[in-house]
Structure 1
Amino acid sequence: MSLLSDLINMNLSDSTDKIIAEYIWIGGSGMDMRSKARTISHPVNDPSQLPRWNYDGSSTGQAAGEDSEVILYPQAIFRDPFRRGDNILVMCDTYTPSGVPLDSNKRYKAAEIFSHPEVAAEETWYGIEQEYTLLQKDVNWPLGWPVGGFPGPQGPYYCSVGADKSFGRDIVDAHYKACIYAGINISGINGEVMPGQWEFQVGPSIGVSAGDELWVARYLLERITEMAGVVLSLDPKPIPGDWNGAGAHTNYSTKSMRKEGGMKVIEAAIAKLGLRHKEHIEAYGKGNERRLTGRHETADINTFVWGVANRGASIRVGRDTERAGKGYFEDRRPASNMDPYVVTSMIAETTILWKP
């Protein structure tokens, strides 16, 4: 085992210029992450220096067997915390051999929206709060819960310490450091209200990079839970009943919102979001109706309401923003399994480009 560990941790740069690039993409379900590695002859620091690659789309639900080739376009590079050295992780999006983006390629449309001159001029900032649940392998029951049974009621677990209240901290801390090493702008972590549930925050990130960073952070978490023998769940309501669900609250601001008088811009943006509430809900994650019930720090899925410091609202404006008269707001509707390319670009499109 010691030789195996030595080989896994070998620093390739001691003997070669070659590096390993792990190409990452999103499969046909829109939530399954896939990856495979290839050897590159020298270190690279820009995705344009990497070759396009292909894979069998018939095995990921993205192509027919008789014409199964899907092409990977490298879009963003991150340092690899597993192989380290000059080795990299490569976030890719997916195309047909003729260059048409797949239906499951949500990054393509997001990049179009963020490159629009009106959107680019506003320098859209995002901070995404990714909640998730750690499950015991094979039984699919939250970590720290008695198998087939329940822990005590919610209350002691949020941001808690102690073996009877906090479950999975080693995984969470390993993920935190892996994200920092990779170059992801992770801004914090905390234990959540339901035991076995945690949160990490990515941002502030600008435009399409928010989606790149969150997807790679999810990939790192999948890899770390794989190593720990624990299952990662992004289900928005993993346990029915009197337990909190899991969301991906999305904090947002534009250049105009961050300037003096920005509160008026924020209020106008929120009004637009209210007019397109149903359309946004449909794009904000599967199973979200089980979470947005009007209880457990949510607004009812059929109701749009905003307020200052109100965690039961669709949109929450912070006290600091109210006090300063400028800043950001939080869209609390997205589910934990939302696609960040879809949510971030849709918020920008509605608040900047859409004319009611």
Structure 2
Amino acid sequence: MAQILAPSTQWQMKITKSSHKASPITSNMWGSLLLRHDKKGAPASSAKFRALTIKSESGVVNRIEKLLNMDVTPYIDKIIAEYIWVGGTGIDVRSKSRTITRPVDHPSELPKWNYDGSSTGQAPGEDSEVILYPQAIFRDPFRGGNNILVICDSYTPAGEPIPTNKRHRAAEIFSNPKVVAEVPWYGIEQEYTLLQTNVKWPLGWPVGAYPGPQGPYYCSAGADKSFGRDISDAHYKACLYAGINISGTNGEVMPGQWEYQVGPSVGIEAGDHIWCSRYILERITEQAGVVLSLDPKPIEGDWNGAGCHTNFSTKSMREDGGYDVIKKAILNLSLRHQEHISAYGEGNERRLTGKHETANINTFSWGVANRGCSIRVGRDTEKNGKGYLEDRRPASNMDPYIVTSLLAETTLLWEPTLEAEALAVQKLALKV
């Protein structure tokens, strides 16, 4: 992100009573996403969703599409809530649906639920029940109406967070009075790669071969340079509809790779919004027949990897004299470099090589306007003497609950020894 602006004051997405007037994703949008099958005999309908799993020359598909797009809001008060949680790998998103008797405005109005943790790698078969706690709600861009997406975290029946529940610890850090007082803002740049379904090769690339070298693809236009724009645009609009604080999108350096930005968001909200945006992206690529990859280095060689750069600031950083606060934060980050790296995404060592706009994974560095550093400070921040920093180390598959809370903990709650601080000041040439 080029700049962190004032965040939304909403900590939890509320669903208004009038939300049924909004429409889910439009027919033109979905139509442009779908793989171009033979359309002979296809119904000339304006359905918003397409039945992709059935091929028929009869009216069967048409009738299914009508059911998929049926607006039941005028007839019943019930809604569909899609409960979403993080699976056993720590990066996969799972979900299932349930009927709620009436529209809701807050997660506290929703019931807890459960799932089979033995099927997600999160519980043994002999004691497989895992409990879902609703934590944030968003409008459902797929079903429309008053239907909702529900971000949940996972607990044992005794109420203990399971190991893959990183939200619980993040919520503890963000509720600390010192952290609350500093109102931490985050702007997260989520990069991702689109792959062809059967060959797992980037979208737009010749199968088993390579396109021309990097250079013409970043923020480009044209059929020979931009691959997957419809998916990016559909995701952008779906996130806006859902109430996600998405702030922009662009084509990336490697062809078939894209980025979107979420934020500025306050505290735990940043993680909730990123996870919901990832779920929506998974659903859209599913509709489009394209595979989503969050691998930090999907193609080896002279190709950019995929990161999740995290822009961060506190109240003190944003006020006069904030540049000194930023430098103190950088000092703390340098002293906990290995701890951060170990939590910043699996396979990140394949991306952080010191090439392709990255710093070397083993060396901490910072600089003004330097994209080859661990921490980048913008020119405007240096000029104004206040602003934010950009942590360029997180991988595209990082857990946003871990990264955001660790940044807050290291810069606001953790204090280094005087000896370590003195050595770091000298090493980094920081004058704090």
Q: TM class by shorter-chain length?
A: over 0.9
Match of 1:244 in 2: 304
Partner of 1:168: 228
AA at the equivalent of 1:44: V
Determine whether 1:195 maps to 2:255.
yes
One of 318, 325, 333 as aligned partner of 2:393: 333
Which of 168, 175, 195 lines up with 1:115 in the alignment?
175
Per the alignment, residue 97 of structure 1 pairs with: 157
Which deviations, in whole Å up to 9, do the C-alpha atoms of 1:27-68 show, x marking residues without a partner?
111011100000000000100000000000000001111110
Q: What amino acid is the match of 1:18? A: K
SS of corresponding position for 1:218: helix
| Structure 1 unaligned regions, length at least 5 | none
Paired position in structure 2 for 1:179: 239
1:143 to 195, 199, 203: 203
Q: CA deviation at 1:2?
A: 2.7
State the superposition RMSD in angstroms: 0.5
| Counterpart AA for 2:205 | W
CA distance in 1, matches of 2:213, 2:89: 34
Structure 1 position 214 matched with structure 2 position 283: no
Aligned-pair distance for 1:132? 0.4
* Amino acid paired to 1:29: T
| Aligned mate of 1:70, from 130, 133, 140 | 130
Q: What's the secondary structure of 2:360's corresponding residue?
A: coil
Aligned to 2:117: 57
Give the number of equivalent residue pairs: 356
Shift in Å, 1:202: 0.3
The aligned amino acid for 2:78 is K
Deviation at 1:298, TM superposition (A): 0.3
Is the aligned partner of 1:350 residue 2:410?
yes
> Which residue pairs with 2:329 in the alignment?
269
Q: Which runs of 5+ in 2 are unaligned?
A: 1-60, 417-432
Cα separation, 2, equivalents of 1:167 and 1:296: 21
Q: How far does the alpha carbon of each residue in 1:129-186 deviate from its partner, in whole angstroms, 9 at most, with x for none? A: 0000000001000000000000000000000000000000111100000000000000
1:32 matched residue in structure 2: 92
Structure 2: distance between partners of 1:351 and 1:9: 48
> What is the letter of the counterpart of residue 23 of structure 1?
Y
Shift of the alpha carbon at 1:10?
Answer: 1.5
Answer yes or no: is the 8 Å Cα contact 1:12–1:19 preserved in 2: no
TM-score (norm 2): 0.82
The alignment status of 1:304 with 2:369, answered yes or no, reads no
SS at structure 1 position matched to 2:127 = coil
Structure 1 residue identity aligned to 2:385: G
Between the aligned partners of 2:352 and 2:285, the Cα distance in structure 1 is 27
> Structure 2 CA distance, aligned partners of 1:256 and 1:208?
19
What is the rounded CA distance, in whole Å, between the counterparts of 1:341 and 1:172 in structure 2? Answer: 24
CA–CA distance in structure 2, aligned partners of residues 6 and 129 of structure 1: 37
Q: Distance in 2 between matches of 1:9 and 1:161?
A: 33
TM-score normalised per structure 1: 0.99
Deviation (angstroms), 1:323 = 1.0
More strand by share: 1
C-alpha separation in 1, matches of 2:261 and 2:112: 31
Identity %: 76
- Cα distance in 2 for partners of 1:220, 1:63 equals 26
Preserved CA contact (<8 Å) 1:176 1:186: yes
**Distance in structure 2 (CA, Å) of the matches to 1:11 and 1:177:** 20
